[in-house]
Chain A
Amino acid sequence: MNSKMNALSNASARHLRSGERRESRWTKYKKSKYLFLMLIPLFVYYAIFEYGPLYGIQIAFKDYMIRDGIWNSPWVGVKHFDYMFNASPDFYKILKNTVIISFYHIIFGFPAPILLALIFNELRVELFKRVSQIISYLPHFLSWVVLGGLLITILSPTTGAVNAVLGWLGIEPIYFLGDPNYFRFTLILSSIWKEIGWGTIIYLAAMTGIDPHLYEAAKMDGAGRWKQTTHITLPSIMSVIAILFIFKTGQILNAGFDQIFNLYNPAVYSVADILDTYVYRVGLMQLQYSFTTAVGLFKNVIAFSLVLFTNYMVKKLGQEGIL
């Protein structure tokens, strides 16, 4: 509010001096000539690689032919959208998979680092706490290619360690990565495994900001660790949780391409194929450029609206948004 007022009064002040405006603007540009020089790579990059692809979106409304290129391919209106919503045998399946997998990520993956942060916060032996935190960060630093390789080894139904342990318990070997009944479970669990430690950082940072006197006072009143956690720690980090949760729901159409792409196989496409993997396979592999551009456009428009919406929600909560 304040800055808006300032801007207004600045604008009117400038208006009064409009006679000298042209000259002062020119001197302003001249004064900034080195800054503009520095901005050249930025202008070129953002124009070509961030805004440039928007030009290619038109092929969602065309029948893209490689020999004709983007501009000369013939317009076909909403043919590909019509096919997508009304005729495609896959679209609703992959949309459903995307939302379900994201939903599981939110339900199970989102609370996991909060719980772990609360547990870390309880640890009293500093060295143990620090070492275990560092160990828990480790998988975050590795790509899903490497982690996929590790998981394929560990989860193998014939030689994997997990099935060996299950065997001791009398459980038949489970093909975690090849059985549609288990694939999503494996996805969610392995994703928690990768990011749980890393996810605690932001909550632990919020916890260090809690006034120690609150705990002292609670102890005086006879509150145990559990009461302190539910009455002081959790409420104190609630605003951080709320913001991260809102942003997370804004990402509902990103079900984790990197992970799924390195773990899935045709046996589990029915439960694992998401918008992004579908666009890659059908688009780049089967060369259905126009149709999958339409699918991608659908995804990006929804995702962008969700970002605007979640940003609005965060601002409504009285927090600083991202836009």
Chain B
Amino acid sequence: MKAFSRMTFGEAAFQVIAVVTVTLLCISTLYPFIHVLSVSLSSPAEAIRPGIHLYPKAFTMAAYEQAVKLQGIWVGFGNTIYRTLVGTFLSVFVMSLGAYALSKKHLPHRSFITMAVIVTMFFSGGLIPTFLLIKEIGLYDTRWALIIPGLFNTFYMLIMRNFFMSIPSELEESVKIDGANDLRILFQLVLPLSKPILATISLWIAVYHWNEWFNGLIYIQDQSKIVLQIYLRRLIVENSDADVQLLMQQAAGDSIPIVPETIKAAVLMIGTIPLLLVFPFIQKHFVKGIMLGSLKG
């Protein structure tokens, strides 16, 4: 009896420690977002005051009203949405073609092609040779440079292939007898049966495109083609956007209550909110994907 009560005490203590640790972790995860959101909605005097910001003080939307005047945000949004939509569609399209072909056991040289594809996961030509290649073939400073270099993701394609292989071949045989060729089988039978995996992989690729910034940095010069992440980087990390300076001067003239801190916070929020909004709905697809990936690999 004594042992029993000591055990439950131990368990209770364990629970308390676990709950406290996890709560602290959640606070530390959420706090930076709450901080920046609060700053973006506070008056300049409150915004630059050092300390914890849990809610907007001297609430004002002025920073947002001014931030939306920054051309770069909208150019960035436009290009990011473009590459996300076009890039995701094209990637899923060509990857499902490839994955289907590689899923067929009777494909000649199947294991050789599969191996040639897989080994690319483990080496690369390096930054400079890749950069020179993109220049050489004329993709430099075009929106295609944001889409084509990442068109195939070997890992995702293998997951797709494994999924296609798990579809019972009797189903395909029955359509084949009716004279359907591989293209029709893929589009009319296999892809409709693979909607869950296609949804998951589309989301992975879409989030990749939304967040991708390095190709946007090295391949894009033309200011009308910059992506959102690059604009955010320039504004917040590099601290070097001429438009913001201009905005500050105008605001000072019109005595609009903004400071660089509130503008930056507002831009950061504008750039992050779309993902924060979809995050609760897409995270479970990502978790599912981890499980799929860990089945093999």
Residues of A within 8 A of B (CB): 25, 28-29, 31-32, 34-39, 41-42, 45-46, 48-57, 59, 69-70, 116, 119-120, 122-125, 128, 132, 134-139, 141-143, 145-146, 148-154, 158-161, 163-165, 167, 193, 196-197, 201-202, 205, 222, 224-226, 258, 262, 276, 279-280, 283-284, 289, 292-293, 296-297, 299-300, 303-304, 307-308, 320, 322-323
Contact = CB atoms under 8 A, between A and B. Distances in A.
A35 B132 contact: no
Contact of B125 (A53, A145, A165): A53
B252 interface: no
Given A123-B19, A136-B26, 4 more contacts: A146-B232, A164-B51, A205-B291, A262-B233
B14 A296 contact: no
Contacts of A153: 32, 35-36, 39, 261, 264-265, 268
B172 interface: no
A104 B205 CA distance: 30
Interface residues of B, number: 97
B101 A39 contact: yes
B52 A164 contact: yes
B142 to A, nearest CB: 15
B128 A292 contact: yes
B279 interface: yes
Interface in B93-119: 94, 97-98, 100-102, 104, 106-108, 113, 116-119
B28 interface: yes
Provide the main secondary structure of the chain A interface.
helix
Q: Which of B35, B137, B282 is the most central at the interface, judged by chain A CB atoms within 10 Å of its CB?
A: B35
Contacts of A55: 125, 129, 133
Nearest to B228: A145
Contact of A41 (B19, B33, B97, B282): B97
Contacts of A262: 233, 237
Contacts of B124: 50, 53, 300
B86 interface: no
A160 B32 contact: no
Q: Which of A50, A197, A276, A293 is the most central at the interface, judged by chain B CB atoms within 10 Å of its CB?
A: A50
Contacts of A36: 101
Contact of A42 (B15, B131, B152, B286): B152
Which 3 residue pairs of A and B lie closest in terms of their CB atoms, listed nearest first? A53-B125, A56-B129, A296-B126
A52 B120 CA distance: 11
Contacts of A226: 10, 14
Nearest to B231: A145
B183 A38 contact: yes
A134 B280 contact: yes
B29 A138 contact: yes
Contact of A201 (B98, B128, B290): B290
Interface string B191-209: 0000000000000000100
A130 B106 CA distance: 45
B147 to A, nearest CB: 11
18 contacts: A46-B120, A49-B151, A56-B128, A116-B22, A119-B21, A122-B18, A123-B15, A132-B22, A134-B283, A141-B207, A141-B286, A142-B211, A146-B271, A152-B237, A154-B31, A165-B52, A196-B25, A226-B10
B275 A150 contact: no
B59 interface: no
A17 to B, nearest CB: 17
B211 A193 contact: no
Contact of B50 (A39, A46, A163, A307): A163
Given A28-B106, A225-B14, A56 B133 contact: yes
A34 B183 contact: yes
Given A145-B237, A159-B50, A193 B19 contact: no
A164 B119 CA distance: 50
B50 A164 contact: yes
